[in-house]
Structure 1
């Protein structure tokens, strides 16, 4: 193994580890958002800060469920993108392309 090859391997390893750190950070942020949404859903509809005087509790719950589903879909899209990035970083771009 030449010095150049070793340096390239170390750089690739560092890039893969950095991508993993970014992925974990995004997962923590997404989890915090979902936890906040679930907390809002558990709060009585009439006690919610955004609830107006005449809002229907069922309508508020339906809106919260829609928000939660949207957040879930966003998390799935992020996980897919990060999975591809990790695969590309660890195994090469050709492996990430094979995941489609």
Structure 2
């Protein structure tokens, strides 16, 4: 996969576990992603997790991951899992779904 060199955009698909629904987590995630300059979306999943799909430079996606794992997230995060891939057709902005 291209992108780990920081020069090509990548996609990080992230799943966040814990008490992360009904606490403003998606709104907070969107705000952080836009501050960093990422595009993509965040959505609630039926099993209580939140999914985040972020596209941007590898280092920018790593910044978002660090924030999601950090102490200042809304609710209570008990785990974060991610996979890396090439970007798709791209996203216009960062949406809450």
TM-score, normalised on structure 1?
0.28
Query: Would you tell me which structure has more helix in proportion to its own residues?
Result: 1
Higher Rg of the two aligned structures: 1
Query: Would you tell me which structure has more strand in proportion to its own residues?
Result: 2
